[in-house]
Amino acid sequence: MSKFSRDKVMPRYFAIAVVLTFLGLAVIAKAMYIMTAKKDYWTQVASRLKRDSVSVKPNRGNILSCDGQLMASSIPEYKVYVDFQAGATDSIGNHNRDSLWEVHIDTICQELHQIFPSQTPAEFKAHLLEGKKKVMKNGTIGARHWAIWPKRVDYNTFCEVRKLPIFCEPPGKGGFHWEEYNARRRPFGSLAQRTVGDMFGAKDSAKYGLELSYDSILRGTNGLMHRRKVLSKYLDIPVLTPIDGADIVTTIDVGMQDIAERAVVEELKEIGGEMGVAILMEVKTGDVKAIVNMTRGGDGEYHEMVNNAISYRCEPGSVFKVASFLVALDDGVVDTSYVIHTGNGVLNMHGRDMKDHNWRRGGYQDINVARALEVSSNIGVSHVIDKFYGSNPKKYVEGLYRVGIHEDLRIPLVGYHAPWIRMPDTKTTDRSKYWSKTTLPWMSIGYETQIAPINTVAFYNAIANNGKMMQPRFVKQLVKDGEVIKEFEPVVLKEQIAKPQAIKTMQTILEHVVSQGLGRKAGSKSFKVAGKTGTAQVADQFGGYHSGVTRYWLSFAGYFPADDPRYTCIVCLKKSGLPASGGGMSGVVFHHISEGVMAQNLKLSVEDARDSLSILRPDVKDGDIVAAEYVLNHLGVKGNGNWKGVKTNSARTIMPNVTGMGARDAVYQLESRGVKAIVKGRGRVKSQSIYSGTTIKNGMVCELHLE
């Protein structure tokens, strides 16, 4: 074993340690140099390699009508900008970007004027030069994010702007860039606008209607993407794929909605009304087929501003009398033969005069319960309810709750207000809500309650549906990628709102209201209608009834056809001053809606279109005899054989006579024989340039003159 030589080894270790020390000092010095002298350079490199997490928005679902037509859909919109610093020191082709601006700016501004005519080329030029000369905080010249146009533009306009000189270059060179948004559009405009809903475009959030109620379903789920910048390009790396929103299929029928909307607006214009509401509901399912909310705007026109059909609670007036009498019939305290003495149309009830609408003409004298509803007698209804429930008003109100007029419909629209019908023993500090002797009789005729039109129509729909109360349905399905992912079945709120006999009696009375009562104008000659009129004086903006001009809430609620109910409808109009008639005004709108809806669903048999007094003689154009004979034989029609047509299996070397034929038959006959046909004019062949019977030769061209 060799002896360790300290004198030889230690110098070597010392030399290695010195080298490593100098290497360490060099690394530290280099790091300090990079951190100080080269800081800006490496910061720029880092910015190029910066990795960001970018949220990716999904496509918002569509809102569809009951038959699949688009009622709301998302389309892309763009805000367009120019970055005056991008590529400013680079060259495009053989030219500096600044020199290109000088050459093309007039052309760009002229083209922008063609795209956006409201701004002149000079205005565009001044605007762009302002952005180009703008001094940034860091001392550089030219704005980085200068808006070319202040508003969003659609895709076609975006493509036009993108084709302009300089803007057509890549963003890193030309500086043209954009921001993309999802804009919500309704192909049918304002049709059912308050129910379908709308969006806050800038915030991408729902405002109201089904857009708001089903926002989480329509919106979908955001995705995630990592964006890495390498040199002058971005690389997008998907992390989470966005999940698009589902479509919702509503119960709205576009055709019925249009019929109802036009009927309401026409009547509002006729009477100078302030507001109009109409709801059309399918009896068996509760499907809301149309819902109209029209309010007169400052421009004098009518627009959908507020969904009053579900939110406007007011005293319903005489349409409420049906609920009062249904309670009495269901409790068995009266029947239709019970006679009421209304006298001359004025009856003092607990210190206040109750009046019928014809009190100035002497009133109705003695009438029975059925007739009291037919002529909408205030005295008739209030007398019955006060007599049989005056000692126990709570029983009457419990009856109202039982028949469903007070039902909370729990509809999926923000803004819905459930009815307000108070119990007589309810504690309150509001003196206007104290129960008094006059509360019951006035409540029975539709005052001292607060009910929205949607509740009234649901109640009448239950009567039409033989006592079964359906929840108003606005959405039927959720659809994703063409497949139904969820069904919303019809919901029964009450299996039976009253005894079957009471319902049957009320159905008969409501039919008579239209056939022989005040609701005649709502009727139809083509089918039976049942319903009830309503005219109520409503409180003004100060909460009173007598300050300023009197305002009226005019209603008609009913269903059709009365013998086999398919649809229930309510029409409510609000107007100031006289004349004011629920039957004569709202009833007219009901008539137009019912007639339009039934006509839309009318299906006639072909047999009904046949005229037994005339003989069908088809007009057969000259052409292929074989084809014509085939059709006539199958129709059972015998031809006379005296025509100018030709048989396709005849000799192919003879020019046929195509005079009198249609263009299609004539061209076929010629070109099937190798003759090129040139057609001039329209109609039937008047003449041909090559006479019939001529032997056909290769390359022949025949001109056909049509008239």
Cα gap 466→283, rounded to integer Å:
10
Q: How confident is the model at residue 664 (pLDDT cuts 50, 70, 90)?
A: confident
Cβ pair 207, 197 in contact under 8 A: yes
Q: What pLDDT score does 627 carry?
A: 67
Contact present, 293 and 466 (Cβ < 8 Å) = no
Query: What pLDDT shows up at residue 662?
Result: 79
Classify residue 318 by burial, with Cβ atoms within 10 Å: 0-12, 13-18, 19+.
Answer: buried
Look at 682 and 531; give whichever has higher pLDDT: 531
108 or 593, which is more confident: 593
DSSP 621-635: -BSBHHHHHHHHHHH
Give the pLDDT of residue 649.
46
Residue 227 has pLDDT above 90, yes or no: no
DSSP H or E stretch at residue 182: strand 176-185
What's the first-to-final CA gap in the chain, in angstroms? Answer: 126
H helices within 275-320, ranges in order? 308-311
What's the mean pLDDT in 630-648? 62
Q: Is the pLDDT of residue 232 over 80?
A: no
pLDDT tens digit sequence for 256-303: 999 999 999 999 999 999 999 999 999 999 999 999 999 999 999 999
- In this structure, the dihedral spanned by the alpha carbons of residues 243, 244, 245 and 250, taken in order and rounded to 10 degrees, is -140
For the ranges 254-258, 335-339, 391-395, 657-661, the lowest mean pLDDT is seen at: 657-661
Look over the chain and give the mean of its residue pLDDT values, rounded to a whole number: 85
Q: What letter represents residue 135's amino acid?
A: V
Token readout for 657 is 């006579």
Mean pLDDT value across residues 237-248: 86
Strands 63-64 and 70-82, sheet pairing: antiparallel
Provide the strand spans (E) within 265-375.
275-282, 288-296, 302-303, 339-341, 346-349, 352-355, 366-368
* Coil, strand or helix at 194: helix
- Token output for 30: 């280099």
Which whole-number Å values give the CA distances from 406 to 179, 401, 449, 605, in the listed order?
51, 5, 10, 44
Higher-confidence residue of 647 and 562: namely 562
| Predicted local confidence at residue 129, as pLDDT | 87
Mean pLDDT of 317-339: 95
Question: Which residue, 214, 219, 212, 218, is CA-closest to 198?
Answer: 212
Most confident of 26-30, 300-304, 454-458: 454-458
pLDDT class of 29 with cuts at 50, 70, 90: confident
Q: Residue 525: which residues within 8 A CB-CB, separation 6 or more?
A: none
Residue 224 has a pLDDT of: 83
Q: What does the alpha-carbon distance between residue 653 and residue 650 come to, in Å, rounded to a whole number?
A: 9
Check residue 707 and give its pLDDT.
77
d(CA 503, CA 325): 11
Q: What is the mean pLDDT of residues 244-262?
A: 94
* Alpha carbons 685 and 673: distance in angstroms, whole number: 18
Residues near 615 by Cβ (< 8 Å), separated by ≥ 6?
none
613: pLDDT confidence band, cut at 50, 70 and 90?
low
Residue 522 — pLDDT band, cuts 50, 70, 90? very high
Mean pLDDT of 569-586: 93
CA distance 590 to 138: 70
Higher pLDDT among residues 39 and 579, named by residue: 579
Inter-axis angle of helices 321-331 and 500-516, nearest 10: 140
Decide if 587 contacts 570 (C-beta within 8 A): no
Question: What 3-state DSSP class applies to 264?
Answer: helix
Residues 6+ apart with CB under 8 A from 231: 48
Considering the chain, what percentage of its residues have pLDDT values greater than 90? Answer: 49
As a whole number, mean pLDDT of residues 207-222 equals 90
What pLDDT does residue 668 have? 80
Q: How confident is the model at residue 93 (pLDDT cuts 50, 70, 90)?
A: very low
Residue where the block lists tokens 């800006």: 40
Rounded to whole angstroms, the Cα distance separating 455 from 407 reads 7
* Residue with the two structure tokens 């014509």: 628
pLDDT, tens digit, for every residue of 141-172?
677 788 889 888 888 888 899 988 888 888 77
Nearest 10 degrees: CA dihedral of 317, 318, 324, 325?
180
Candidate from 276-290, 338-352, 414-428 with smallest mean pLDDT: 414-428
C-alpha to C-alpha distance for 667 and 661, rounded to whole angstroms = 9
Q: Which residue has the higher pLDDT, 666 or 682?
A: 666
Q: Burial level of 233, CB count in 10 A (0-12/13-18/19+)?
A: exposed
What is the band of 542 on the pLDDT scale with cuts at 50, 70, 90? very low
**For residue 1, pLDDT beyond 80:** no
Specify the pLDDT at position 507: 97
Say if CB 587 and CB 318 are below 8 A apart: no
Q: How confident is the model at residue 223 (pLDDT cuts 50, 70, 90)?
A: confident
pLDDT the model gives residue 626: 64
| pLDDT score of 365 | 93
Joined tokens for residue 173: 């060179």
Tell whether the model's pLDDT for residue 18 goes beyond 50. yes
Q: Quote the pLDDT of residue 4.
A: 57
Asked whether the predicted pLDDT for residue 541 surpasses 50, the reply is no
DSSP for residue 49: T
Q: Exposure of 645 by Cβ count < 10 A (0-12 exposed, 13-18 middle, 19+ buried)? A: buried
Strand pairing category for 483-487 and 492-494:
unpaired
Q: Is the pTM of this model over 0.85?
A: no
Question: pLDDT category, 116, cuts 50, 70, 90?
Answer: very high
Q: Is the pLDDT of residue 695 over 70?
A: yes
* Structure confidence by residue, pLDDT tens digits, 354-387: 999 999 899 999 999 999 999 999 999 999 999 9
pLDDT exceeds cutoff 80 at 345? yes
Residues 6+ apart with CB under 8 A from 301: none
Highest mean pLDDT among 192-196, 234-238, 470-474: 470-474
Using H for helix, E for strand and C for coil, what is the string for 472-540? CECEEEEEECCEEEEECCCCEEECCCCCHHHHHHHHHHHHHHHHHCCCHHHCCCCCCCEEEEEEEEECC
DSSP class of residue 685?
E
- Pick from 213, 207, 180, 191: nearest CA to 59: 180
Burial 45-75 (b: 16+ CB within 10 A, else e): eeeeeeeeeeeebbbbbbbbbbeeeebbbbe
Mean pLDDT over 407-419 rounds to 92
- 139 vs 186, more confident: 186
3-state secondary structure (DSSP) of residue 296: strand
Q: How confident is the model at residue 612 (pLDDT cuts 50, 70, 90)?
A: low
User: What pLDDT was estimated at residue 200?
Assistant: 80
Q: Mean pLDDT across the stretch 315-344?
A: 94
pLDDT of 71 above 60: yes
Averaged pLDDT for residues 309-315: 93
With CA atoms as reference, report the closest residue to 278 among 44, 585, 562: 585
> What is the pLDDT, as a whole number, of residue 44?
64
- β-partners of residue 183 are 75
DSSP string, 57-126: PPPPPPEE-TTS-EEEEEEEEEEEEE-SSTTTTSEETTEEHHHHHHHHHHHHHHHHHHHSTTS-HHHHHH
